[in-house]
Amino acid sequence: MTDAYHAPIGQDALQAALAAPVPRRRDVSPFEFLPGWLAYGPIVAQWIALGLRYGDFSLPTAANPAITTGGLCGESKTAILDQLRGEARDWVAPYTTIVTGAGDLARARSALAAAGLGLPLVVKPDIGCNGAGVRLVDSEDTLAAALAAFPRGVLLMLQTLIPWEGEAGVFYVRRPQDASGHISSLTLKHAPTVTGDGRSTLRALILADPRHGRLQHLYLDRLAGRLDHVPDRGERVRLVFAGNHCRGSVFRNGADEVTPALTARIESIARALPDFHFGRIDLRFASLHALRQGRELSVIEINGVGSEATHIWDPDTSLREVYAAQFRHYATAFAIGREMRRRGARSSGVRQMWRDWREEQRLMASYPLND
């Protein structure tokens, strides 16, 4: 396998299609540079208003009652995937788990052998979000280093690396009273890259790029040991592996790629989870054509009510559209929670929700820098 940061992993044509399918109005999303209080303040205000209206500030946690806090915070990635039933399991990237501790490399070898898995792998914490601690492993040495970088006693997920270049976040919504759900958002993701000219250092290439230069704080620390390297002319260097906007990945609205065939595939996966009504299914796919047909795709995570409809991070999405999408989705989460409460489901309660969030934040603060 190539170096973890050197593209291509697979398909240059697909990468190009994801990167620049249409002329862009902006290099970065206007949402990315708002202070946190302004970006999420209106969302918090809406949440409080809806909590007062329905008499329960934690009501969305009842939307997916089989998941801890409905997937708002503190949920286990593997516990969600473990619940998948029937043929839906065939659409999930194979994985196993290990708790860090003494002799964890030997135990990892044993766990991988028992699950019939091998290298390359993605190592990621079982509890966490936004790509925190995600590491790409292509040898026993990098596996040992990845395991050692985590605190002791942390549950890690060891998942087969799906070599397809395409990655997408598919937001699924189904009201309990409806026979089927729908895809409310589709985001296509691709890794940020720079292309060498044979003269400039990696640092200079990053700073000169219209997008990456504005987001340099996301890349420079991670690549500190390589910033003075001069990539060869035409060499494409991947700046980050984790497919999260807050880690620097590039997102674009993929609503035009939603088809009945893809919707049917996502519906079959979502319905294989008990009482799953609201959340995002993250997956890798072989080509845009295959994605539209709902084939040659592999689920890497399923997230609940804490996940965003990530098309809002497309640079061409206006602030008005960002807030409209956020308000619409969280209002739906409350409405689904209310219906599930009527059917006997219980929300987590504010205290438990707070405790789970605090524990998640504590764990994330202890994780190593992601790849």
HSE-CB at 117 with a 13 A cutoff on CA atoms is: 25
| Domain ranges across the chain | 12-191+240-366
Of 308, 301, 298, 317, residue with least CA distance to 253: 317
Provide the pLDDT for residue 35: 83
pLDDT of the chain along its 371 residues, tens only? 334 333 334 444 454 445 444 455 677 777 877 788 888 999 999 999 999 999 999 999 999 999 999 999 999 999 999 999 999 999 999 999 999 999 999 999 999 999 999 999 999 999 998 888 999 999 999 999 999 999 999 999 999 999 998 999 999 999 999 999 999 999 999 888 899 999 999 999 999 998 888 888 888 988 888 999 999 999 999 888 765 666 677 889 999 999 999 999 999 999 999 999 999 999 999 999 999 999 999 999 999 999 999 999 998 999 999 999 999 999 999 999 999 999 999 999 999 999 999 999 999 999 998 87
Parallel, antiparallel, or unpaired for β 250-253 and 236-238?
unpaired
Helix (H), strand (E), coil (C) string for the chain: CCCCCECCCCCHHHHHHHHCCCCCCCCCCHHHHCCHHHHHHHHHHHHHHHHHHHCCCCHHHHCCCCCHHHHCCCCCHHHHHHCCCHHHHHHECCEEEEECCCCHHHHHHHHHHHHCCCCCEEEEECCCCCCCCCEEECCHHHHHHHHHHCCCCCEEEEEECCCCCEEEEEEEECCCCCCCCEEEEEEEEECCEEECCCCCCHHHHHHHCCCCCCCHHHCCCCCHHHCCCCCCCCCEEECCCCCCHHHCCEEEECHHHCCHHHHHHHHHHHCCCCCCCEEEEEEEECCHHHHHHCCCEEEEEEECCCCCCHHHHCCCCCHHHHHHHHHHHHHHHHHHHHHHHHCCCCCCCHHHHHHHHHHHHHHHHHCCCCC
Q: Within 10 Å of residue 219's Cβ, how many Cβ atoms? A: 23
pLDDT at position 214 is 86
Using omega within 30 degrees of 0 as the cis cutoff, is the peptide bond preceding 8 cis? yes
12-191+240-366 CATH choice from 3.40.50.80, 1.20.810.10, 3.30.470.20, 3.40.50.300? 3.30.470.20
Give pLDDT, residue 246: 64
| Predicted model pTM | 0.89
Distance of CA 220 to the CA centre of its chain: 22
pLDDT at res. 243: 59
What CA dihedral angle connects 49, 51, 55 and 56, to 10 degrees? -170
- Main-chain phi, psi angles of 27, to 5 degrees: -90, -30
- Which pLDDT score, from 0 to 100, does residue 330 have? 96
